[in-house]
Amino acid sequence: MRKTGFILAALLCVTMPAAIGAPAARDCATACKSWLTRADISHSRVGVEVMELPSGKVAFESSGSKRFTPASTAKVITTSCIYDLLGANYVYRTRLLSNGVLEGGILKGDLILETSQDPSLKRNDLVKLVRDAGVTQVDGRVFVACPPDGHDNYAVSWLAEDFGQDWMPVSSNLVIDSNIAYVSGIPKQFRVTDVKSTGLAVLDTLMQSGIGSAWLSVDPTTNIVNVNRGIAYSSNGKIDASIKRDGPFVVANPDVYNTGIFQSVLNDQHINAGYPVVTTFGSYKEARTVLSEHVSKPLSQIVRLCLHESDNLYAQQLLRTIALAGDTRVPKTKSKRVDARTLEEKGLNRIGEWLSGLGVPGREVVMFDGCGLSRKDCLTPHALNLVLKHMAGEGIDGPYLDLLKASGEGASSFRFKTGAMDTVRAISGILINNYNQKEAVTIMINGHTPSVKDLRIALSDLIERLKNSAISRADATQPGGAKTPAANAVTSVQTTKRLTPAKRSSVLRNNQRRH
C-alpha cells in the first residue's frame, strides 16, 4: 500500500531466508543475471546496480542508469543530505522568546513562540516549555513566529487518496504530535462539528471510499473544528462505525490548529494575555530574551526513526530543515536558479546542489518531495549507490550507515532502506559479502502487481545470492560503467504546479547534478 515503509521493511531485518532454488553463483555478475530470469519479475520493470566499494566501480548493472519510482528509498537522499550538512549532534530548538522584560511573572512585552520544524515535538513538550518560562501575565501580544514561505504544506504531486491517511500528515512550522489529532484532545476553545459532505466531489469521494481517509480542519474565523470521519471497513469487509470515531485524524491546516493548541496550553497554565495568539511569517519585533527552550533528541536519533519507521512527515520536516540550514558545505553554483516558493521547494534545490557536489549525474534524479510518496519521483539505482558510497566513506564505516536497518554483522551483513507502494518495491543499502567485499546494492522493481509476497522473496533472493558471490576483476568496470562522474551535473528539481512544463524541465539545470 502507500505506507512507504510498509512491512517490507521487515524483509531483511532478521535473518534473510536462503535463496529459494537459487544455484550457488560463481561471481556477482552471474548471480545477478541468473536472478533476472525469475518468472515472478519477468513482466515488471527491473533496475539493478552493484557497486564495489570504496572504488565506486560497477560490478553489475541492468538498467542501472534508468529512472524508476523509488518509493521510500528516496529517504536515503533526504536523510543523507541533512546528516552530511548538519551532523549527528544537530538538535532542534523550539524557544519561547520576548522583546520585553520579565518581572515577577509579569512579562512587559511580547511573548513569542519561535518554531523550529522539529518533527518530534509533543504537546507535553510544549506544556513544559510554557511552564519553564515562568510567565503568569503578558502585557503585550502573543505570537507564533514562522519563517517566510514556511506555510503548512501537502504536496500537490501526491495522490488524492493519500490525503487523510495517518501515514502522510501535513507538514508545518510547528509540528505537535505528528500533526495527528484525536477528538478527545481538541482544545477546549474550539467547537467540534461533524461534516457529512464537504461540497467537493473529490473529498466526498474519499470520505465514502472505505479506505479510511479521515481529517479535521479549523475555521479560524469561527473556532469551529470540522471533523471528516470518512468510512472504514472492519476485517469482515463491513462498514464499522466505531473505527476512527475518536481518531486518528490528519490535521489539514496544522499551522492554525497547533496555534490553537498553544493558546489552549497558555489558558490551562492560567497565563493571562490581553490578545489571542497570532501566527506571523517573517519579521516580528526583535526578541533577544530566551525565556525557555525545548531541545530535541540529536539528529542521529531523528534520522534513525525516519528510516526505520519510514516516517513520511519526518522526511518532509527534514526537507524543510535543509531549506533553512546555513551550512556552507552546499556548493554555490552559477547556474540559473528556479524560483522556489515553499520551504519544500527550497529544500529540494539545496539537495540538488549537495548532490551536484557528489558528482551524481543530474538527469538521474527527479524529486518532488523528500519522502518518496510522489509517483513523479524518479531515481536511478546508480544515483542511490553514489549517495551511499559517499555516506559510507573510504573505510565503509561512515556513522550514517549505523542508522539504517541491519541484517547480520560483519561479513554477510546488509544495512538497507526499503521502499514500497502499490506496484513498486525497492531496496538500497551496503552489503558485505561472505568474501568480506563491500558493495552498494540498489534494486528497483516497478510496474508489478499490487501483491507483495513474491517480491519480498525475490528481493531477499538476490541479496542472498550476492552474499554468496565474489566480485571478480572481470565484473568491475569504471564507476558507472560507460558513465563517468559528471562534471556537469544538474541541480534541483522544483515541485510546484506553478511552473509550466517547459520551466519545470529547465529545473534540471545544466551545471552539476541534483538529487
The pLDDT tens digits for 12-68 are: 443 444 444 444 447 999 999 999 999 999 999 999 999 999 999 999 999 999 999
Those residues whose C-beta lies under 8 Å from the C-beta of residue 193, and which sit 6 or more positions away, are 224, 225, 226, 227
Return the pLDDT at 452.
65
Return the pLDDT at 335.
45
- In degrees, rounded to 5, the angle at the alpha carbon of residue 280 between the alpha carbons of residues 178 and 268 is 60
Q: Which three cell numbers stand for residue 410?
A: 560483519
CATH number of the 7-13+23-88+301-506 domain: 3.40.710.10
What does the alpha-carbon distance between residue 336 and residue 318 come to, in Å, rounded to a whole number?
25
**How distant, in Å, are the alpha carbons of 124, 162, 226 from that of 183?**
17, 21, 11
The pLDDT tens digits for 238-295 are: 777 776 788 899 999 999 999 999 999 999 999 988 788 988 887 666 777 999 999 9
| Sign of CA pseudo-dihedral 12, 16, 17, 19 | positive
Tally helices (H) and strands (E) across the chain. 11, 22
Asked if residues 62 and 46 have their Cβ atoms less than 8 Å apart, the reply is yes
Name beta bridge partners: 58.
51
Return the pLDDT at 125.
98
| Sign of CA pseudo-dihedral 344, 349, 350, 355 | positive
- Model pTM? 0.86
User: What top-level class would CATH report for the domain 93-193+215-229+250-296?
Assistant: alpha beta
Domain boundaries, the chain: 7-13+23-88+301-506, 93-193+215-229+250-296
The 3-state DSSP composition of the chain as helix, strand, coil percent (nearest 5) reads 30, 20, 50
Return the pLDDT at 478.
64
What does the alpha-carbon distance between residue 48 and residue 63 come to, in Å, rounded to a whole number?
6
* Cα-based torsion angle of the residue sequence 281, 283, 285, 288 in order, rounded to the nearest 10 degrees: 100
Cβ neighbours of 66 (radius 10 Å): 17
Residues in the chain: 515
What does the alpha-carbon distance between residue 279 and residue 218 come to, in Å, rounded to a whole number?
14
Q: Half-sphere exposure of residue 331, counting CA atoms within 13 Å on the CB side?
A: 19
Low-confidence ranges of the chain (pLDDT < 70): 1-25, 243, 283-285, 326-340, 452-453, 474-476, 478-515
User: Which amino acid is present at 247?
Assistant: G
Cβ neighbours of 247 (radius 10 Å): 18
Q: Which residue has the cell 493571562?
A: 272
